[in-house]
């Protein structure tokens, strides 16, 4: 488990020195009901959706910007690190308090402050759940375009922290493209506003810098988002293929025709066999892969675009192309995509979800290598991902009770990430770097690049106090990250034989 030099010395009681004073000051500022510090109360906050585990020293639940600022000032006075957390659905260990300290849980700040349908702007607190915002916007014929597959539970604050994407990122862009303004608590408890209500504001774009910074620069307490109109017409298609490689070829074939679908998703045989018995969406159980494709716009153009998609898929080898004829059928097709991760969890004792990016043209070769690599390490793999922008999500299924399985799955994951980088891609598309992929940053950035990023963190004043041991490699007392740890475990085992 990672530690940090930012953590306080440990007293004979087992708690860090000054623990009682820290708790007392936080309770005075936020109220005793908003402060948890007993180990049995903190267990639920020692993890997110990854396999990393670490207990915070204390968890606080602020209800206002002022309380967030107070918690930050108190943590700094007691020389404790601060880690922001939303609903805990993150997939890179970003909300895991690997250096202990004060966990600032934002779920009580969950108000939709304003919806302005005329100017297509909404103002929300960070604890608002993504789907809750979508439901509030529906009567106005508007939506917040980023729609992560976890949108039933993930928060807008978490989306901002990780610059989250989703199935419709291909046409609409990721979270950063839809954030107009932020209110942020900076290190020292300073409160500032970045951006505003306009698409473009003068000056350095610090708003854009905060989006995707994973809580290392500040804690977002209010978000002004850009809204888009619900399209007048939409068509959702399913194309069935005998293999993942054939479906991957179809992705490039569609884009080559000058058409950018609003969504272009792939499900392979393994995931189809897990979700179809649960959802009954009509995905053939003997298919090698299916593409879930959506086009939107004016009715006339949508019909033409759907015909273009169908033609491209047939020429690429699709054995069947089906168009959803009703809203209910469309919902079932998307439900099968949305519940895919849950279906894997129900079918395997554990799984490790990866997030890499490759150029679309390299999809066939990389997908073949992913399947071969998983088989070489002895793992079942289910692939469900955003094929249109080359954002892969292999899910390695394993049993953590099997000796050596966890270390082996991490080594397999590193090999797959290396495949993505070697193909000209990157080590994350939407899940963030967090703790999980810190050691991979050196694959794609030079020492000068990483030094510049660290300088930004120092300039904001947080250094190793705000979400330490995340995003950047190195850091005082921080372990290298999952991939490097796995290799160390394997090598120690080999050396002992």
- What the block records as the tokens of 85 is 């957390």
Report the share of the chain in percent with pLDDT over 90.
87
CB 292 within 8 A of CB 243: no
Supply the pLDDT for residue 494: 36
Supply the pLDDT for residue 237: 97
Q: Span 293-302, mean pLDDT?
A: 95
In this prediction, residue 479 has a pLDDT band, given cuts at 50, 70 and 90, of: low
Ramachandran angles phi, psi of 264, nearest 5°: -150, 90
Evaluate if residue 79 carries a pLDDT over 80: yes
CATH number of 233-343: 3.30.70.2190
In this prediction, residue 6 has a pLDDT band, given cuts at 50, 70 and 90, of: very low
User: If residue 493 lies in a helix (H) or strand (E), which one and from where to where?
Assistant: helix 482-496
- What the block records as the tokens of 48 is 């997110």
Supply the pLDDT for residue 492: 39
Domain 112-229 identical in fold to domain 233-343: no
pTM, two decimals, is 0.91
Report the share of the chain in percent with pLDDT over 70.
93
3-state secondary structure of 96: coil
In this prediction, residue 477 has a pLDDT band, given cuts at 50, 70 and 90, of: low
Residue 112 per-residue DSSP state: E
Dist CA 320 CA 338 (whole Å) = 22
Q: Where are the chain's structural domains? A: 19-105, 112-229, 233-343, 347-496
Dist CA 68 CA 53 (whole Å) = 24
Ramachandran angles phi, psi of 437, nearest 5°: -115, 20
**348-363 b/e (C-beta count within 10 Å ≥ 16 → b):** bebbbbbbbbbebbbb
Q: Span 299-318, mean pLDDT?
A: 96
Residue located via tokens 């590193």: 414
| Topology of the domain covering 112-229 | 3.30.465
Q: What are 118-133's pLDDT values in tens digits?
A: 999 999 999 999 999 9
Ramachandran angles phi, psi of 476, nearest 5°: -60, 120
Dist CA 70 CA 67 (whole Å) = 5
CB 387 within 8 A of CB 251: yes
Supply the pLDDT for residue 490: 39
CATH number of 347-496: 3.30.70.2740
Evaluate if residue 486 carries a pLDDT over 80: no
CB 102 within 8 A of CB 81: yes
Non-local (6+) Cβ contacts of 19 within 8 A are 8, 11, 13, 37, 57, 58
3-state secondary structure of 456: helix
Residue 223, Ramachandran bin (φ over 0: left; ψ between -120 and 50: alpha; else beta)? beta
Evaluate if residue 474 carries a pLDDT over 90: no
Cβ neighbour number for residue 112 with a 10 Å cutoff: 15
CB 395 within 8 A of CB 352: yes
Q: What are 17-55's pLDDT values in tens digits?
A: 899 999 999 999 999 999 999 999 999 999 999 888 999
For residue 386, what are the CA distances in angstroms to 135, 150, 373? 24, 14, 20
CATH number of 19-105: 3.30.43.10
Dist CA 338 CA 393 (whole Å) = 13
In this prediction, residue 495 has a pLDDT band, given cuts at 50, 70 and 90, of: very low
Supply the pLDDT for residue 3: 36
């Amino acid at each position: 488990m990672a530690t940090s030099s930012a953590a306080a010395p440990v007293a004979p009681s087992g708690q860090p020195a000054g623990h009682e004073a820290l708790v007392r000051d936080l309770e005075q500022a936020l109220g005793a009901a908003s402060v948890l510090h007993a180990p049995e109360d903190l267990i639920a906050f020692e993890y997110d959706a990854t396999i990393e585990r670490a207990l915070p020293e204390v968890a606080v639940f602020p209800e206002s910007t002022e309380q967030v600022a107070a918690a930050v000032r108190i943590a700094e006075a007691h020389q404790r690190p601060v880690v922001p957390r939303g609903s805990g659905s993150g997939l890179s260990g970003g909300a895991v308090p690997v250096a202990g300290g004060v966990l600032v849980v934002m779920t009580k700040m969950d108000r939709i402050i304003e919806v302005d349908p005329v100017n297509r702007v909404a103002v929300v607190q960070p604890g608002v759940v993504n789907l809750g915002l979508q439901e509030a916007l529906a009567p106005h014929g508007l939506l917040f375009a980023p729609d992560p597959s976890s949108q039933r539970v993930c928060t807008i604050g978490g989306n901002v922290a990780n610059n989250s994407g989703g199935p419709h990122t291909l046409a609409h862009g990721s979270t950063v493209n839809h954030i107009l303004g932020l209110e942020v608590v900076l290190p020292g408890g300073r409160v500032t506003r970045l951006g505003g209500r306009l698409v473009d504001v003068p000056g350095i774009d610090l708003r854009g810098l905060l989006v995707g910074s994973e809580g290392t620069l500040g804690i977002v307490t209010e978000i002004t988002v850009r809204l888009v109109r619900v399209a007048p017409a939409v068509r959702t298609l399913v194309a069935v293929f005998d293999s993942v490689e054939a479906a991957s070829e179809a992705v490039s074939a569609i884009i080559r025709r000058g058409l950018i679908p609003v969504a272009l998703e792939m499900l392979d045989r393994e995931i189809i066999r897990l979700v179809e018995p649960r959802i009954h969406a009509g995905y053939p159980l003997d298919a090698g892969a299916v593409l879930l494709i959506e086009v939107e716009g004016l009715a006339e153009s949508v019909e033409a675009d759907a015909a273009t998609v169908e033609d491209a898929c047939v020429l690429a080898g699709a054995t069947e192309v089906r168009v959803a004829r009703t809203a209910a059928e469309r919902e079932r097709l998307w439900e099968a995509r949305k519940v895919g991760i849950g279906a894997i969890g129900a079918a395997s004792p554990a799984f490790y979800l990866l997030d890499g990016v490759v150029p679309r043209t390299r999809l066939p070769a990389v997908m073949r290598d992913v399947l071969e690599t998983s088989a070489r390490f002895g793992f079942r793999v289910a692939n469900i991902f955003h094929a249109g922008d080359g954002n892969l999500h292999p899910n390695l299924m394993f049993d953590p009770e099997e000796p050596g399985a966890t270390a082996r799955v991490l080594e397999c994951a590193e090999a797959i990430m290396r495949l993505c980088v070697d193909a000209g891609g990157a080590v994350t598309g939407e899940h963030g770097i967090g703790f999980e992929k810190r050691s991979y940053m050196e694959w794609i950035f030079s020492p000068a690049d990483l030094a510049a990023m660290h300088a930004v963190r120092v300039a904001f004043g947080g250094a190793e106090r705000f979400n330490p041991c995340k995003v950047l490699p190195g850091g005082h007392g921080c372990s290298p990250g999952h991939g490097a740890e796995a290799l160390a475990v394997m090598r120690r085992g080999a050396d002992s034989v």
